[in-house]
Structure 1
Amino acid sequence: MENKLDLLSLLEYIDPSILDYQEWLNVGMALRQEGYTASDWDDWSKRDGGRYHPGECFKKWTTFEGSGITGATITQMAKDNGWESRSQWEDRELDWNDEISVNEDYVVIDKNWIEGKEISEPVMWNPVRELTRYLETLFEASENVGYVTDTWQNEEGKHLPTKGAYDRSAGELIQLLNQSGGDIGGVIGDYNPEAGAWIRFNPLDGKGVKNENVTEYKYALVESDTMDLEKQNAILRELELPIAALVYSGKKSIHAIVKINAANYEEYRKRVDYLYNVCKKNGLNIDNQNRNPSRLSRMPGIERNGKKQFLIDTNIGKSTWDEWHDWIEDVNDDLPDPESLTDFWDNMPQLAPPLIEGVLRQGHKMLMAGPSKAGKSFALIELSIGIAEGKQWLGWNCTKGKVLYVNLELDRASCLHRFKDVYQALGWQSNNLSNIDIWNLRGKSVPMDKLAPKLIRRAAKKNYIAVIIDPIYKVLTGDENSADQMAHFTNQFDKVCTELGSSVIYCHHHSKGSQGNKKSMDRASGSGVFARDPDALIDLVELEPTDALMKQEENKVACSIYRNYLENHNFDYLDEHVSQDDLLSATTMENHAKRAIPEQLTIVKEKVDKAINKVRIRSAWRVEGTLREYPKFDAVNMWFTYPIHMVDEIGSLKDIEPEGEQPPWKKNFTKKKSSEERKKEQQDALEVAYEACGIDEQVTVKALAEYMGISEKTVRRRIKEHADFWIDEGEVGRKT
C-alpha cells in the first residue's frame, strides 16, 4: 500500500476525543477507501479512552464499502489541527477526487530538508592510482574485468561504447598499470577524450559481456542524472547504502557501485528492485536502465570533455547488503511509540469483553492441549456450539456470537455429522445454526503463514468473535522444538486476532510419556512457545478411576434408569414402597421393577445394560489452565462419553490422581488383569461402540476405530475374535 504511513502519520494530528460521532466514522471510511485495515482505525480510536469500545471498529468496518469518503478528509482534518504539508501538493488544497499517492514506506530521509554535500576533484591527479584503486576495491586478482575505450557515433553525434575488452584479469591490469609509467592508454588502449571510457563493475567469464557472462553478482549501479551533484552525494550517504565505490561521471551524475552479493541472477534482480525502490522513495530519480549486472559504468582515472572521472570515495555506508537491508527494515518498522502511564492513569481504556467468562477475552488467543483419546476435537465443537448458542462450555459461560470452525483433519461429511451428533448429545435446540460457519480444508491446508491472509480475507466481513483451528499440526511450519520458528508460527495467530478482532482458539497434542507429574504449561509437545504464547492455556490430563468408583458409577446410572421407569409407569408404587436407601442400590431397584412393572422389565434391563457398558468405556479427565487475563481457576473434572464431555458436578473424580502421580509403591503393585478379563472388557467395549455408531447409519471399521480410540487394524482383530460380528469391505454387522 503506497500511502499507508502517510495517512497514519496524519492521524497523529487528529484527536479522536474531540470529534463527534460522524467525524469519527468519516475517518474510518477514509481509511478503508484508501486501503488501510480495521486495526489501523482501531489503534487510533483507542486514544479516546472514554468512548472507545473494543470490537466496535471491526463491526462497523464492513459497512463502509463504497462510502466515497477519501483520504482527503483525513488530510483536511490534520491541516485544521496544525499539520503543514511539505509534499508535492503543498501549495494547493486537495480536491475530494485527489489520490494521496505519497509513499513513505522505507523512507529514511526527507530530500527537501537534506543539505547537499560538495564533491571535490583530487588535488594530485594520478590516473593510474585512480583506476588501480577502483580495481583493487571491486575485484579479486583472478577475476576478469570488462572495459571499453573504443566508441562509435550515432546519427545525433553521441559517442556510444563498443563491446570492448573482457578477457584480462584485474591482477594483470593492476600489474601493467603500475609498470606503465602513468600511461593508462598503453594498458587499456587510447580513449576519445570527448567520450571518456567505461568499465563493468561485475566480474566476467572472459567469453563475452552479456548477463550470462557475469560470474558473480557482486554489485549494482545506482545513478541519478537529474539532480544536483551535491544533493546526490548527500542522499547516497544518508541512505547508508553499502557502497564499494563512488565515482564522478565527469558530467551530471555520480555512479554508486553498491554491494549486492547475490547468490544468483534471480536473487540479484530481487535485491536490485528493492534497492531501487528504497532510493526512489528517498528522492533519487534512478535510471532504471542500469539494472543489468553486466552494465557499464564510468571508469575513474579518465578525462571527459576536460572534466575528470574520479573516485569520490570507497567502502562507505553499511559494510554489507544484509546489514543495510536489516537497518532499512528496522528504521521503517510499524511499531507503536511508547506511551506514558500518566496519560491513562485516571482514564484507563476498557478491557476486551469476555468470550469465555473467567478464561478468555475477545480478540485473545487460547490453546487447548491434551493427549489422544481426550476428545479435543469434540471439545472444540462443543465450544463452537456453546458460543453460537450463548451457553456454557465445561461449566463456563460463553458470549453469544458467530464462530468460524476451521476443519483441517476430518472429511466434510464426518465433520458435519459430528456437529449434529454433539448438538443431540447435549440435548440443545439448534436455534442459532447461522452463527456457525465451517471451513473444510482437509487435503487443502497450507502452512499457517500462507493460511492466515487467506483466512483474514474470507472472514473480514463476517464479524466472527471466535476462529477455531483444529488441529494445528496440519498447518505447522518449521521444527516444533525450535523456539524462534514456533514464535514465527504463533505470530500468525496474532495477525488473525488483530485483523479480525476475534479470538483464535486452537489445539495441540501432548508430548510423549506420563503427564501427571508435569505442570500444565509443560505438557504440550514441542517448544515452550506453544504454552507461553496464548493468553489462555486449557490442558486436559487423564485420570485413572478406581474399580470401586467405576462400580459406583455403574450403580448410579442403573438406579437412575429404574427410577425413571417407575416414575413414568407406576409412580404410586415408587412413592409408597421405595425408600431413599432403595434408590441407591441397583439390585434393590431391579427387584422393585420386577414387582411394579414386570411388563417393562425386559426393556428396562436392556437399557440398564447399555448404560453400564457406556460407563465402562468412558474416560475421566481433569481440566487445568494457565491464564494471562484472569486468576487461576480450580481444576475441572469431567467424563468424556462419546461424543461429549460432561462436568463431574457431584465430585466423584475430585480425589482421583492423574496418570503418573500415584506413589511408586502403588504403581509397582497394581493387580494385573487376566487374559480372560481383558478379552471380556474388549468384547464389551466393541458391543457398546457398535451400538453407539449404529444409531443413524451403517457401522464401519473406521467409525468403530474413531469411537474406541484405537487403530482400524486392532478393530479388525477384535471383530474376528468376537463370534457375533462380521466384516465385509470395511462394513461391520451383527450375525443373526
Structure 2
Amino acid sequence: MTDGFDIIEILEHIDPSRLNYQEWVNVGMALKEEGHTAADWDVWSRRDAGRYHPGECFRKWDSFRGTLQPVTGGTIVQMAKDQGWQPETGHELDWDDTISDERVVVDKNWIEGQEVEEPETWDPTAQLIKYLETLFEAGENVGYVTASWEKDGRYLPTQGNWDRTAGQLIEQLSKCGGDIGSVLGDYKPEAGAWIRFNPLDGDGCKDSNITDYRYALVESDSVELEKQNAILRELELPIACLVFSGKKSLHAIVRVDAGSMEEYKKRVNYLYEICKKNGLEIDQQNRNPSRLSRMPGVMRNGHKQFLMDTNIGKASWEEWQEWIESVNDDLPDPENLESVWDHMPELSPCLIDGVLRQGHKMLIAGPSKAGKSFLQTELCIAIAEGRSWLGWGCAKGRVMYVNLELDAASCLHRFRDVYGALGWEPRNLKNIDIWNLRGKSVPMDRLAPKLIRRAAKKDYIAIIIDPIYKVITGDENSADQMAAFCNQFDKICTELGTAVIYCHHHSKGAQGGKRSMDRASGSGVFARDPDALLDLIELDVTPELMTQQESAMVCDTCIRYLNNLFEDWEDDVSQDDMLSYVQMLAYCKKKLSAGQYSTLNALIDAAVKKVKALTAWRIEGTLREFPKFAPVNLWFDYPVHQPDKSGVLKDIQPDAEKAPWQRGTDKIKKNAQERKTERKKAIEEAIEGCNFGEVPTVKDVAEYLGISERTARDHIKEHGGYTYEDGKVRKKATEAEAGKTDE
C-alpha cells in the first residue's frame, strides 16, 4: 500500500507496452520494495505479448537488492498517473473517474457459467421487431447499419441510416415475409449488421444527434461467454435487451435513463466500474450513447446474432443503484429491544469524567485568542499522565496529537512549555505521539483513512486534531457537506474505538443573544454532531477586578519570597495584613535587607506584568451523555488555563450575554474610567515638567495644562497621589514612609 492505494490495483492502469526497458525494470523493483512477489510482476508483464519472455521476471527478481535510494511504490503511482489514471479526490464522478469503494456482488471464485442457448426457432424479423418494440417509441428515429467494409481481416460498419422511425421499420418488417434485407438493405453474412440503441433526431448519428440518453452498452470479449451471461444476470443489471453478438461477446443494452450527456457519462462510468469490480472487463470504447451494437435477427460468419432476453434484472437504474449500494453497506441489522433489555451492553468508560466517553467525539469552540490549541495540548498531557484537566479527571492512556498548524519544532517546544507551566513531571511521554502535518495536510476524507491505518495498532484512547479548518472539505455553511465532513470523525471513532477531539472557531461578529452551541462558525452541524461541546467565551473583566488581582499577586509573591527566607515570619503579621499589599510591602521593607527588597521588587514587577496579560474565560457545555455541568471559569495564564479557584469570576457576565442597555452602560463607565486615567496621567506629567524640577504651584500646573486653577485643584484631588498646601503641589507620603517619619 502507498498513500492508501493498492499497488496491484493501480498496476492494472499501466500498459507495459508503453514503457521502455528501464521503466519496466523499475516496476519490478518497486513491487519488490513494497513486499509483492515476482509472480505479480510476471502476470502484469504478460500483457505486453510482443516483448514478454517466460521466466525473465523471475530471473531478474533475484538481482534486485536493497539500495540507499530504493525504487518505491510511488514510482508505480506516478506511472499510472502519466498514463491517465487519477486517484479518487472526493468529487462527483466524471467520464474518466474511478470508484474506490467496494461494491462487489459477484464472488468471482464461485461464479458458475450460464450457457448461451440459441433460439429453438429462427425468425429473424420477429427478433428485430421485438428489439425495436422494447427499446424505442414508435415515433423515434432508429440508426442502423448493414453496409460494411473490410480492413486487415475485420469488417467495419459504415455510418448507415437514420431516416426512419421505429414504427415505420416495424410496419415494414411485419410485411417483408422474413426478408430483412428488403427493408434495411442487404448485409454481408460474414460481417453481420449493427443497430444504435438510443433514439436519433433524424439528422445524423453522432452523440449530438441523440434525443434521449436512455441506454448504455455493456460488452466484454475477454471473459468466457457463459461467465459473461452469469455475471450480467447476477449483477441484476437493468437490461432492456441482451443480444448474442454471433462471436465471443454478449451485448447488454442497460437502462441508465440519464437526463443529460453529463449525467450519462457519470452513470456509464459507475456502471462500467461496478462491472469491472465484479469480474467483467468492459470494452471501454462503447461508452458513447451513439455507439453501434449488434443487430439481432441476422447472421454473422455462420453464427446467429440473436435476442437472448428482454427486461431482466432490476426495473430501473435507480432501483439497481440503490441495490448495489446496499448489498455490502456494512450497516448493522436492527436490534430488538426486548432481546437486550436484561443484558444491556457495557457503556464506554469515561475519558473525561462527566464530559466525554472513550470512542466519542468532542468539539472545543471559541473565539481567537482563547488559547484553544493550548487547551488541547493541556488535555493531551492530562490524558497521557492520567491527571485532572480543568478540574475534570481524565483516564490515563495513549493519545495522538495531529498537529496541522505549527512547525514541528514549535509544536514540540509548546508541549515542553505547557508541562513546565503546569508544574508536572513528564513521566509518561511515551503515551504521546505527535503527527506533524503542517504543509502536508489533505482534506479530511483523504486524511481519515491514512490516520486510521497509522493508528490501527497503537491503542490510542484519544486522537486530538488541531485545528480542523486545515482539513475541512466543502462549504462550512452547508449542512449536508459538513455532515459528510463530520462523518469522517465517526469513521475514526468506529474503526479505532478512540475518542476524537477537535476545535473550531466562533463565527465573526457579536455573539450576544446566541446560545453557546450556536456560536461555532458555519453550519449548525458542527455543534450538533459531537457528543460533547465545550464552548469558551471571554469574560469582560473590570479594571477594579484586575487591580484586585494585581494586589493579590503582590501579596502572594511577598508570602512566597518570605517563606523561602524565614520560618517564623508569619507570627509578625496578621491574617488581614497578609491580604493587604500595602501592609505586606511595608513589612517586607522592614524585614528584608536592601538587596533582598530589591530582588522582591523585581519578582513583584514580573508577577504584576503577568497579571496584566491574563484574560478571563468561561466554559459552558452541551453534553449528550451526561447532565449539564456548571460553567467553569478560567484564567488564561499563557501558556496554560488555570481554574478560578477564588471565585472572583463567578458573577461576571460575558459581554456577549449582556442586554444591550447593560453593554451601553458598561461602555459609558469604561469611557469615564479611561478619561479619569488620562487626567491622572496628565497631572503627573504636568507636576513633573511644569517648573523645571522645582516644587510647582497650582497656578503652574493650571498654566501647563491650559485649565483654570479651580479645575487644576479638582484634578489634583481626584488623582489622590498629591496634595497642595499654600499653593504648593507635593507628592503624598506612602504609609510606610509615614510610619518611618513617626518613628
TM-score normalized with structure 2 length: 0.66
Q: Distance in 2 between matches of 1:320 and 1:241?
A: 9
- The corresponding residue for 2:717 is none
Which amino acid counterpart does residue 601 of structure 2 have in structure 1? K
Q: Given the alignment of the two structures, is residue 579 of structure 1 paired with residue 578 of structure 2, yes or no?
A: no
- The corresponding residue for 1:441 is 437
2:145 to 139, 143, 147: 147
List alignment gaps of at least 5 residues for structure 2.
2-101, 682-743
- The corresponding residue for 2:670 is 672
Q: Distance in 2 between matches of 1:587 and 1:565?
A: 16
Q: Given the alignment of the two structures, is residue 164 of structure 1 paired with residue 161 of structure 2, yes or no?
A: no
Which amino acid counterpart does residue 652 of structure 2 have in structure 1? I
Alpha-carbon spacing, 1:333–1:264, altered in 2? closer, same or farther (3 Å): closer
Alpha-carbon spacing, 1:307–1:543, altered in 2? closer, same or farther (3 Å): same
Q: Distance in 2 between matches of 1:501 and 1:128?
A: 60
Q: Distance in 1 between matches of 2:325 and 2:679?
A: 67
Of 417-426 and 518-527, more deviation after overlay is shown by 518-527
Q: Distance in 1 between matches of 2:389 and 2:159?
A: 76
Q: Given the alignment of the two structures, is residue 324 of structure 1 paired with residue 317 of structure 2, yes or no?
A: no
SS in 2 for 1:552: helix
User: Displacement, 1:485?
Assistant: 0.8
1:460 to 441, 451, 456: 456
Which amino acid counterpart does residue 292 of structure 1 have in structure 2? N
5 Å-filtered alignment, 1:93-492, equals 105-107=104-106, 126=126, 129-130=129-130, 132-133=132-133, 136=136, 141=141, 145=143, 147-148=145-146, 162-169=155-162, 171=164, 182=176, 183-191=179-187, 196-201=192-197, 218-222=215-219, 232=229, 239-247=235-243, 255-260=251-256, 263=262, 267=266, 270-277=269-276, 280=279, 286=280, 288=282, 292-293=286-287, 297-302=293-298, 311=307, 317-318=313-314, 321-492=317-488
Which amino acid counterpart does residue 562 of structure 2 have in structure 1? L
Checking the alignment, whether the CA contact within 8 Å between 1:151 and 1:192 is kept in structure 2 is no
Q: Distance in 2 between matches of 1:450 and 1:104?
A: 19
User: Displacement, 1:379?
Assistant: 0.4
Q: Distance in 2 between matches of 1:628 and 1:399?
A: 19
Q: Distance in 1 between matches of 2:133 and 2:664?
A: 81
Alpha-carbon spacing, 1:170–1:313, altered in 2? closer, same or farther (3 Å): farther
Deviations 1:372-419 (A, max 9, x none): 111000000111111111111111111122211111111222222211
Q: Distance in 1 between matches of 2:139 and 2:676?
A: 82
Q: Distance in 2 between matches of 1:375 and 1:228?
A: 67
SS in 2 for 1:466: strand
Checking the alignment, whether the CA contact within 8 Å between 1:480 and 1:526 is kept in structure 2 is yes
Checking the alignment, whether the CA contact within 8 Å between 2:140 and 2:165 is kept in structure 1 is no
SS in 2 for 1:672: helix
CA RMSD of aligned residues (A): 4.4
| Percent identical residues | 55
Alpha-carbon spacing, 1:173–1:340, altered in 2? closer, same or farther (3 Å): closer
SS in 2 for 1:525: coil
1:597 to 577, 584, 592: 592
- The corresponding residue for 1:535 is 531
Q: Distance in 2 between matches of 1:308 and 1:680?
A: 107
User: Displacement, 1:661?
Assistant: 2.3
Checking the alignment, whether the CA contact within 8 Å between 1:388 and 1:436 is kept in structure 2 is yes
Q: Given the alignment of the two structures, is residue 519 of structure 1 paired with residue 515 of structure 2, yes or no?
A: yes
Which amino acid counterpart does residue 334 of structure 2 have in structure 1? P
User: Displacement, 1:289?
Assistant: 5.1
User: Displacement, 1:501?
Assistant: 2.0
- The corresponding residue for 1:58 is none
SS in 2 for 1:608: helix
Which amino acid counterpart does residue 218 of structure 2 have in structure 1? L
List alignment gaps of at least 5 residues for structure 1.
2-102, 155-159, 281-285, 683-736
Q: Distance in 2 between matches of 1:138 and 1:253?
A: 29
TM-score normalized with structure 1 length: 0.67
- The corresponding residue for 1:734 is none
Q: Distance in 2 between matches of 1:149 and 1:310?
A: 19
Alpha-carbon spacing, 1:333–1:303, altered in 2? closer, same or farther (3 Å): same
Q: Distance in 1 between matches of 2:518 and 2:137?
A: 54
SS in 1 for 2:656: coil
Q: Given the alignment of the two structures, is residue 494 of structure 1 paired with residue 493 of structure 2, yes or no?
A: no
Of 174-183 and 595-604, more deviation after overlay is shown by 174-183
Which amino acid counterpart does residue 221 of structure 1 have in structure 2? V
Q: How many residues align?
A: 567
Q: Which has the larger radius of gyration?
A: 2
User: Displacement, 1:653?
Assistant: 1.0
Alpha-carbon spacing, 1:593–1:435, altered in 2? closer, same or farther (3 Å): same
SS in 2 for 1:553: helix
- The corresponding residue for 1:55 is none
SS in 2 for 1:669: helix
SS in 2 for 1:476: coil
Checking the alignment, whether the CA contact within 8 Å between 2:144 and 2:195 is kept in structure 1 is yes
Deviations 1:158-179 (A, max 9, x none): xx86212214325478757756
Checking the alignment, whether the CA contact within 8 Å between 1:387 and 1:398 is kept in structure 2 is yes
- The corresponding residue for 2:560 is 564
User: Displacement, 1:199?
Assistant: 3.1
User: Displacement, 1:136?
Assistant: 3.0
Q: Distance in 2 between matches of 1:336 and 1:346?
A: 21
Which amino acid counterpart does residue 604 of structure 2 have in structure 1? V
Of 529-538 and 243-252, more deviation after overlay is shown by 243-252
Which amino acid counterpart does residue 273 of structure 1 have in structure 2? Y
- The corresponding residue for 2:695 is none
User: Displacement, 1:672?
Assistant: 3.3
Alpha-carbon spacing, 1:121–1:605, altered in 2? closer, same or farther (3 Å): farther
SS in 2 for 1:495: helix
Checking the alignment, whether the CA contact within 8 Å between 1:469 and 1:504 is kept in structure 2 is yes
Checking the alignment, whether the CA contact within 8 Å between 2:192 and 2:298 is kept in structure 1 is yes
SS in 2 for 1:467: strand
Deviations 1:420-451 (A, max 9, x none): 11111111112222221211111211100011
Alpha-carbon spacing, 1:126–1:500, altered in 2? closer, same or farther (3 Å): closer
Q: Distance in 1 between matches of 2:653 and 2:602?
A: 33
Of 210-219 and 384-393, more deviation after overlay is shown by 210-219
SS in 1 for 2:417: helix
Deviations 1:257-308 (A, max 9, x none): 113557399857743432424664xxxxx57558634775431343679997
Checking the alignment, whether the CA contact within 8 Å between 1:540 and 1:622 is kept in structure 2 is yes
User: Displacement, 1:589?
Assistant: 0.7
Alpha-carbon spacing, 1:126–1:639, altered in 2? closer, same or farther (3 Å): same
Checking the alignment, whether the CA contact within 8 Å between 1:149 and 1:188 is kept in structure 2 is no
Of 219-228 and 398-407, more deviation after overlay is shown by 219-228
Alpha-carbon spacing, 1:681–1:118, altered in 2? closer, same or farther (3 Å): farther
Q: Given the alignment of the two structures, is residue 621 of structure 1 paired with residue 578 of structure 2, yes or no?
A: no
